[in-house]
Chains A and B, each alone.
Chain A
Amino acid sequence: MEQKLVKVFKKTEYQMNPDLPEKVWQAIVLRDKCINRVKLWAFSAVGVFSIIGLIPVFKMLSNDLAQSGFYEYLSLAFSSNGLILTYWKDFLLLLAESLPIMSIILTLTLIFILFVSLKQTMKQVIKGQLSLSF
């Protein structure tokens, strides 16, 4: 019975449209292109926004560095070599304390986002050129 029932099912099989595999492939190509395009625009936008964001953040960092006296402490390192060498540990601690941490974190975060978005944008551009559209 087993084999006979297999024969029955085989005999009554549906005949698919011969174009179906090509249509499926084209649908995948189209979907791939669409996903690539969306990712490309999204990462480009993130990159542009991070560049725009970097301008005020750099200004803020520069102001904070000036206000905290970081530049003065740093110039001390070049003017009195001997003294700094003697108390180098205290000097480094002082220099670190004068750093505007929040501004630095914000700047580095934006730079990181910029590089990641740049990398992803390039990846999407390359992928777009080597995409499924043969």
Chain B
Amino acid sequence: MRDYILRRLILLIPIMFGVTFLTFLAYRVIPGNAAVLTCGLDCSPQVIKDLEHEYGLDRPWYEQYVGWLWDVAHGDLGRSFAYKIPVTTELGRRVPITVELLVLTLVLALGLGLSIGVLSAIRPATSIDWFSRLISVLFLSVPSFYLGILLITFGLLWFGWSPPQFGKGYVPFYQDPWTNIQEFFFPALVLALGEAAVLMRLTRSAMLEVLRNDYIRTAWSKGLRERSVVWRHALKNAIIPIVTVIGLQIGGLLGGAVIVESLYNLNGMGKYILEAIIRRDIFVVQSVTLLFAVSYVMANLLVDLTYAWLDPRIRYA
């Protein structure tokens, strides 16, 4: 097991080099000079030169690249061009927001997806089953940003309610749990519904497959309660493909965070990278892109490792 983790981590090294190089190179190719964009078009050439010098943009690219890697390895992610704030400072404020959003999303998606999926599978061809499948294919198709817009609009028009962050900004959970939940519930729900639909469909088909097995019949004939048969004997075996899909969906969730954060005015990482991309704030973009890639790859590694924990038959040599 330890060897497996080590090998996976070593395999990550070339990928991370590629990722850093690509993000680095991409934003050196853009013709629009970041320094010009920062201080405006009527900037004197001297000021632009100074700015470029200050940020090391006048050095050869390989020196810049190695320098950046060196800094990243030392935990220094550079400074924002526009606001002169170190990226790490900004991330310290923003990462908790994105993490809270994603954790809440996963909890909601798993809760809804698994429970409705199981319910649908143990009562196949009933109205519950039919209804939940219809709902799931609906939410599978409605894009999160559209769902979010509809929720914001009709929430305000019909109930006069809009999320508190539009007025107040982010409130941490430990300061005011109720406001915090109000802020995060709907963005997380919007992201979660689509994912829950995928999980529900998958859970249903995996459960139907498992429920046909002989050991389930044995469990029934032993006289076990339904709860025990369904949750302990069936779901435990049906969960492997579900975990795989969760791993694949993490990427979608990270991308979805970009969309939902900008829609719901949550100042998380997603909104940060979007704003930086629009402003051509190259240092922010390359560092945050790197962070996104690292978290995605790490999440997938974590998912692979949970297999072994879930299914004792899987052994990593």
- Bound together: no
Q: Hey, which bits of chain B sit against chain A, CB under 8 A?
A: none
Using a CB–CB distance below 8 Å, which chain A residues touch chain B? none
